[in-house]
Amino acid sequence: MSKLGTFWGIGVGPGPAGYIPLAAIEALRMADIVFAPRATTSGSSVALRCLAGIAIAPERIREIEFNMDTDRSVLSEHYARLAETIAVELRAGLNAAYLTIGDTLTYSTYGYVLAALQELLPGLPQRTFPGITSYAAAAAALSWPLGEGKERTLILPCPEDAASLRYDIETHDIVVLMKIGKRLPWVLDLLRDMGIAGHCAFARRIGLDDEMLSADLSNLCPTEAMGYLSTLLIRKDPREKRHSGQGIPPDVLQMNANRLQEDLS
C-alpha cells in the first residue's frame, strides 16, 4: 500500500490577493493537487481568484462544486462524497491542498471535510494553516476596531429572529454578524429601530470587483447589499474617543503632561 499523501488546509482571501501566510504558499508549491471549492451557483471559484499572482499549473487544480443546501442530511452526504474524492488521491500518495475562503476553521466548510477525511484515513498526515477571517478583513477595509479596552465582542451566525439578535446586541459591546443572507432587511430595520445604524458597518465581497463597503448603515439598501460573503459589524454604542483625552479628569491630564515634560528635559 502506498504511503498516504499529506493533506493541507489553506485559508485564502477573503478578497484581495496576498492574504495568505507564507508557510501556506510553500505548501501550495509542494501540493500535487489543489482542490478549489466553487459554489453551485457560481461560474468560478472565488478561492482561486484570491490566489491571483501565485502561479499554480492549471493541471494541478481541481475545482469541486460545493452544495450550499441548508438540509443537514444533504450536506452530510455531500461532505462524505467530497472526502472520498480527496481520499482517492491521498491513498495514491499524492499531496493535496484544500482552499477555503477566510480562516480555515472559523465557520468554514474545511472543518467538515477534514473530519470526514480523518474518519476515512486514520493517521492522515495533515496540517491546517490559519487564514484571515472575513470580519478581520472587513474591519481592516473600513478602519473599524473590533474591540478596544475591555469591550466584549460576540461573533455569531445571524439568528433567525429580531428578538434574539436584539438580546445579543444589548448584552455585548460589539457583535460580528455572519451568514446573514436574506435576513438582511429585518436586521437593518432592527439596527435603525435601536438607533445604532449610524455607527455600524457592512462589507460584502471584500477586494473583489463587486465589493461593497459601508461605514454607516442608516441608508444602506438591503436589496442591493444582499448576497454571499457579507459581514456586519455592529457597535452598541458610539466609539469612545480614547485618543482625545475626552472624559479624563483635568488633574490626570496635567499630571501626565508634567511627566512627559520631565522625561523630555
The 3-state secondary structure of 191-205 reads HHHCCCHHHCEEEEC
pLDDT tens digits for range 188-240: 999 999 999 999 999 998 877 788 999 999 998 988 887 777 899 999 998 87
Cβ pair 51, 29 in contact under 8 A: no
Domain presence at residue 36: yes
User: What phi and psi, each to the nearest 5 degrees, are found at residue 212?
Assistant: -135, 125
Tell me the pairing of strands 201-204 and 212-214. Answer: antiparallel
Of the candidates 160, 158, 153, the residue with the CA atom closest to the CA atom of residue 139: 153
Domain presence at residue 198: yes
Residue 60 scores a pLDDT above 70: yes
What angle in degrees, to the nearest 10, is found between the helix axes of 162-170 and 184-193?
50
Q: Are residues 35 and 65 in the same domain?
A: yes
pLDDT tens digits for range 109-141: 899 999 999 999 999 999 999 999 999 999 999
Instruction: Write down the mean pLDDT value for the chain.
Output: 87
pLDDT tens digits for range 165-182: 999 999 999 999 999 989
| Residue whose C-alpha cell reads 474545511 in the numeric block | 110
Q: Which one-letter DSSP state was computed for residue 181? A: G
Q: Where would I find the beta strands (DSSP E) of the chain? A: 7-12, 33-39, 61-66, 96-101, 126-129, 153-157, 174-178, 201-204, 212-214, 230-235
User: Using 50, 70 and 90 to split pLDDT, how confident is the model at 67?
Assistant: low
Domain presence at residue 259: no
Domain containing residue 122: CATH number: 3.40.1010.10
Helix (H/G/I), strand (E/B), else coil: 253? helix
Cβ pair 155, 178 in contact under 8 A: yes
Tally Cβ neighbours within 10 Å of residue 189.
Answer: 13
Domain presence at residue 24: yes
User: Using 50, 70 and 90 to split pLDDT, how confident is the model at 69?
Assistant: low
Total number of domains constituting the chain: 2
Domain presence at residue 80: yes
Q: Are residues 54 and 127 in the same domain?
A: yes
Domain presence at residue 216: yes
Q: Are residues 126 and 30 in the same domain?
A: yes
Q: How many CA atoms lie within 13 A of 87 on its CB side?
A: 18
Domain that holds residue 34: 7-132
What integer is the mean pLDDT of 248-260? Answer: 64
